[in-house]
Amino acid sequence: MTAETTATETGRQRRLGVLGRALTGRIDRLQTAYLRDQPAAKASLAQLRRGLGKPAGSVPEIWALTVGAVPPELVWRDDEPSHAEQAAHAALTLYALHQQSLPVPAHVPGTSFGHAVGRLRDNESRSEEAVTRRFMAVATAESMDELLVHVRGLVTQLRAHRYGFDYARFADDLHDLLRPGGAQRVRLAWGRAFYRTTTDTTEQGAEQP
């Protein structure tokens, strides 16, 4: 299966999944328009933020941006949002929160969520213990709702330091977390990236030069 790839923290490549490939261009276009100060992009991000913490498909005004972006093969034939629809909704609404008032990209292809939080931990102006504790809360969350509450807190801190990460890849991760057998792989990948991060890494976040 042909797939786009992103550079990882170790210089290897990781393939985006079906969902990540469907979202990456959409997020890129929205981000580019927002950074060019286009009113329509600002309005779209504001609409997405109104979906934070709400179930996928429950906010009609963002259907086109969230569940409408999910490939048909990842949509269930019933009245419940599929795992992919839940992941897309969560990733895009969190991206909108992250990008809010930020003059640099919050979506940084190739930078994993774990790596970005590791950079936050290594920032000398932050409490290493507090960031690690929040990251552990993400890793040990017993439900997706609980996990996203803790991710939201970290996203707010990342925005303050202008550190970004790959939201298409993050959507893939959330999708895998919801699927049987996927949670262990995702948590291991996040943990590896978090603990192997150093401030002199070659991978860049969303900070300005």
Report pLDDT digits (tens) over 2-37.
344 444 444 345 789 999 999 999 999 999 999 999
How many other C-beta atoms are found inside a 10 Å radius of the C-beta of residue 99?
28
Q: 181-185 — which CB contacts under 8 Å span 24+ positions?
A: none
15-195: which CATH topology?
Peroxidase; domain 1 (1.10.520)
pLDDT band at 132 (very low <50, low <70, confident <90, very high): very high
Q: 85-94 b/e with 16+ CB inside 10 Å = b?
A: bbbbbbbbbb
* Residue 101 pLDDT exceeds 60: yes
Record the pTM: 0.88
Q: What is the pLDDT of residues 53-67, one digit of tens each?
A: 999 999 999 999 999
Which pLDDT score, from 0 to 100, does residue 11 have?
A: 39
pLDDT in tens, 148-196: 999 999 999 999 999 999 999 999 999 999 998 899 999 999 999 999 8
Say what the pLDDT of residue 13 is. Answer: 52
pLDDT tens digits, 38-47: 999 999 999 9
Candidate from 36-50, 94-108, 112-126 with smallest mean pLDDT: 112-126
Q: How confident is the model at residue 127 (pLDDT cuts 50, 70, 90)?
A: confident
Predicted local confidence at residue 7, as pLDDT: 44
List all residues 6 or more positions away from 96 whose beta carbon is below 8 Å from its beta carbon.
44, 45, 46, 48, 49, 52
Query: Do 197 and 118 meet the contact criterion of CB atoms below 8 Å apart?
Result: yes
Residue 31 tokens read as: 């981000």
* Domain segments of the chain as ranges: 15-195
